[in-house]
Structure 1
Amino acid sequence: MKYLCPICKQTLLLQENTWSCPSNHRFDCAKEGYVNLLPVQNKGSKDPGDNKEMMFARREFLNKGYYQGLSDRVNELACLHGKEVTRGLDIGCGEGYYTHRLYQSLSEQVKWDLQGLDISKSALKYASKRYKDIDFCVASAFEMPFADDSFDLMLRIYAPSLDDELRRVIKDDGILITVSAGEHHHFALKQLIYTDPKLHISESSHIEGFELLHRENLASTMKLEDSVDITHFLNMTPYSWKLTDEQKSALVTNGLSCELDFKIEVFKAV
């Protein structure tokens, strides 16, 4: 894997356990294997991204397979559109659940490298320790430490980013798969929180420099009865901050049922 120095934009070279550039900016690999390429002046807070509690909750929830249908469909689309992939990127990869499953799925038809990027060091500690076949770096999706035209497949699940930056790091004709909230996603929970809950935007997305090849909605109903799973689900989302303690207690006691509605889109860089 090749990186650009986040400070001076020169190419980083790996010597032993340290990435360094010709200007001698140095970035040590963590013991888990990832490299932190987020300069202090760009962090914005002491510990940006999801904290340990949110990361743990999401990890435990996803490992139970509740969102496996989404992962499976994303992987199917990646295999369909990425038949000649050599290098991929998962933007906002978190603890690596989707990243790892994508890598395994596509590795059945091509030999390729996959990079995971996230701003949360807590998440990447877990991802890098568990998924040794994948490279991970702490960095911002708004200023990615990669050269132009680095990737021919990119995945972005719920991660904010800049259109120009997406287009910069992807090769011509490269494939970008995005996942965002569909119109009715988690609407039952929104009804508990808001007096007049709004539906998510239903229109197809526009990303400058990309052509939309495919769009679909993957919809189902999720029913949770295990109190631990319900707690993890709430803690991995902003709903944990917006629901009252009484509402959360009622959901944990009585069970939770809500809509899953994922908007999946496939783009080609043009």
Structure 2
Amino acid sequence: MVFCCPACGGALQKRDRVLVCPKGHSYDLARQGYVHLLPVKEMHAKVPGDTKQMVDARRRFLATGHYNAFRDKLAALVAESLPAGGAVLDAGCGEGFYTAALYDVARERGGTVSGVDISKFAVKAAAGKYKGIDFAVASLFHLPIADESVDVLTDVFAPIVPGEFHRVLKPGGTMMLAVPGARHLYGMKEVLYTAPYENEEHDTAYEGFDFLARESVQREITVLGTENIEALFSMTPYYWKTDVAGGERLRKLDALTTEIKFDFLIYRKRGST
């Protein structure tokens, strides 16, 4: 287990339904199997992260299969980088859609997968559905992860925290960031906005990392049904930035055709294993 005590940084060991560190700090495992490692001082809201309604909507949309190509590409990239017996951390794991695919890759190599997210509802859903994965409620800005304990770190549309990611990765470890491509969901933007815009695409340098490659996955999809369209909309930042008129136009549709594109930015932590 790569999790460590958020109070003192000590390694956590499982004892029945409790995780305990050498100094005696203990954390109960929930019935679903996840652990809450988010200190109260780091909870900047009463219920941080995605709500239950947002998590349910995302699970409903992802079940349609429209994002399977992204999931499969990420799994293939991790398979190329993960050493035998290696550890994967899915930072910002959400409801576990991508984490589960990474688990399949790691299991073939005798490795492990852990997922963290600040949303209790997301982690609860992930742990309830996907077994064999260590899930924790935690902040990406203060990861309860041991130093240099992770071989591959993935981040799909979650906050990017280079310092923390560098700390937990082993020397020579791989960081994979999923970011939206230029025309990702452009068809949705054409409905929402009178002047739709493309996302910026650029390679960002991070201290202590070497940039290796940009891998892209692009498709055109047609989302059927107002419920599925609304679920996709609620997964995006546009849900919070769109005016009432734009949202009403989208909600009148019973089919939405749009481009989708993820770019996977791949980095290696400097140093040798």
Q: Mean alpha-carbon deviation: is it higher for 191-200 or for 82-91?
A: 191-200
Q: Secondary structure at the match of 1:98?
A: helix
TM-score normalised by L of structure 1: 0.92
In 1: Cα distance, 2:58 partner to 2:243 partner: 18
Give the equivalent residue in structure 2 for 1:87: 87
Q: Secondary structure at the match of 2:125?
A: helix
Equivalent pair of 1:53/1:235 in contact (CA under 8 Å): no
Q: Secondary structure at the match of 2:44?
A: coil
Give the equivalent residue in structure 2 for 1:149: 148
In structure 1, stretches of 5+ residues that fail to align are none
In 2: Cα distance, 1:120 partner to 1:267 partner: 26
Compute the displacement of 1:134 (Å): 0.6
Compute the displacement of 1:195 (Å): 4.3
- Once the two structures are superposed, residues 40-82 of structure 1 have per-residue CA deviations (whole angstroms, 9 ceiling, x without a partner) of 1111001111110110011111122110001111111111222
Q: Secondary structure at the match of 1:48?
A: coil
Q: Secondary structure at the match of 2:105?
A: helix
Choose which of 251, 255, 259 in structure 2 pairs with 1:249. 251
Q: Mean alpha-carbon deviation: is it higher for 98-107 or for 18-27?
A: 18-27
Aligned length: 267
- Once the two structures are superposed, residues 210-269 of structure 1 have per-residue CA deviations (whole angstroms, 9 ceiling, x without a partner) of 111111222221211233322221232233342535213222x3x111121211122111
Give the equivalent residue in structure 1 for 2:215: 216
Give the equivalent residue in structure 2 for 1:129: 128
TM-score normalised by L of structure 2: 0.91
Equivalent pair of 2:209/2:268 in contact (CA under 8 Å): yes
Q: Secondary structure at the match of 2:141?
A: coil
In 1: Cα distance, 2:205 partner to 2:154 partner: 16
Equivalent pair of 2:94/2:117 in contact (CA under 8 Å): yes
Give the equivalent residue in structure 2 for 1:53: 53
- Once the two structures are superposed, residues 158-211 of structure 1 have per-residue CA deviations (whole angstroms, 9 ceiling, x without a partner) of 111321111100001111111101111112322333444432221112222111
In 1: Cα distance, 2:206 partner to 2:118 partner: 22
Equivalent pair of 1:118/1:140 in contact (CA under 8 Å): yes
In structure 2, stretches of 5+ residues that fail to align are none
Give the equivalent residue in structure 2 for 1:236: 235
Equivalent pair of 2:185/2:260 in contact (CA under 8 Å): yes
Q: Mean alpha-carbon deviation: is it higher for 196-205 or for 42-51?
A: 196-205
Give the equivalent residue in structure 1 for 2:176: 177
List aligned pairs for 1:1-270, cutoff 5 A. 1-84=1-84, 86-108=86-108, 110-241=109-240, 242=242, 244=244, 245-251=247-253, 253=254, 255-270=255-270
Equivalent pair of 1:32/1:129 in contact (CA under 8 Å): yes
Equivalent pair of 2:220/2:259 in contact (CA under 8 Å): yes
Runs of 4+ aligned residues of structure 1 deviating over 4 Å after TM superposition are none
Identity fraction in percent? 36
Q: Secondary structure at the match of 1:3?
A: coil
In 2: Cα distance, 1:49 partner to 1:185 partner: 23
